[in-house]
Amino acid sequence: MLGYRYMRSAALLALSLAACKTEPAPKPDPEPSDSSATKTDEDRAALVTLELAWVGDEQARQLRERMVPGAPAEGAALLAVRHRVVAPWHIYWRNPGDSGLRTRLDLELPPHLQAGEVLYPAPDHFVSEGGQHSYGWGEEVVLFVPVDAKGEGTVTVHSRWLACHESCIPGDGSASIELPAPGPIADDDALAPMLARLPEPAGERVAAEWLTGPILQLRAAAGTLGEFFPYESDAPLLREQKLDEQGQLQLHYRIPTGADLPPAQGLVAWTDGPQTRWIEIAAPWP
């Protein structure tokens, strides 16, 4: 688990505010159908706790270089929203998989400020005893949000999650932090593992090609490909993924006619040397 110094300012993010997009209004989440609905507020609060910090200058600069052209906003600060999760429970990624609910953030900002799209780090893969596949994080995860950091004020974050182990418990929590003071603020090494899991554009590192099936074939120019995590599990439906003898990853899809398809397929783990990066695959649909 990460050691963390929270509720401290870390640094203004020198990134373009034009790239900050407000997260689309979420569809209402279904009520979880589990026997844990009678859990007390103390039970819910004990499973997940929130802590806030600001990402430092150098970490922000490195993130901007990695994420171009999809970098967060110039002139904004990058807010780190850490969720501590009691083991062996876990909460869910933007696509929860076969079961679960997406972890969602809502921000309260001073009227003169705006926030960008929530940045979700790559998840882990969980398989239940019943064979259901889900995506999320145990122990802890840090979600990131670009925030226009002009002037003074307080940012309040409200998070909603579903924590699951042998049963599932819906929960929510809030935390507040002051906007960072002007001037440089040191980086926090505890943020590095989660920053490294944020999606990056494929560039020339990973090529994607549609084959009959439909099958999306991924090929790394160097290094090796690992697991793929889809952004959607309903339509399109990723039926299976296979790594062939040449190291190419084949994603076997079923795409319903007239389905509302996402602009990108998802993330693939790409390793070249000692470090693994998470590459976003955004191939035009066939």
Residue range 59-87, pLDDT digits in tens: 998 998 898 766 666 667 899 999 999 99
Q: Is 89 strand, coil or helix?
A: coil
Cα(151)–Cα(186) distance, integer angstroms: 20
Give Cα separations from 21 to 66, 71, 147, 190 (angstroms): 18, 11, 10, 27
Q: State the number of CA atoms in the 13 A half-sphere of 162 facing the CB.
A: 25
Cα(286)–Cα(284) distance, integer angstroms: 6
| Model confidence, pTM | 0.83
CB 161 within 8 A of CB 103: yes
pLDDT tens profile 96-131: 999 999 999 999 999 888 899 999 999 999 998 888
Strand-pairing partners, residue 228, are 268
Fill in the DSSP letter of residue 214. Answer: T
234 Cβ contact list (under 8 Å, min separation 6): none
pLDDT > 70 in the chain, percent: 82
DSSP-derived pairing of the beta strands 237-243 and 266-272: unpaired
44 Cβ contact list (under 8 Å, min separation 6): 163, 169, 170, 171, 172
Strand-pairing partners, residue 163, are 169
Residue given tokens 């802890």 in the structure block: 140
pLDDT tens profile 155-195: 999 999 999 998 999 999 999 999 987 788 789 999 999 99
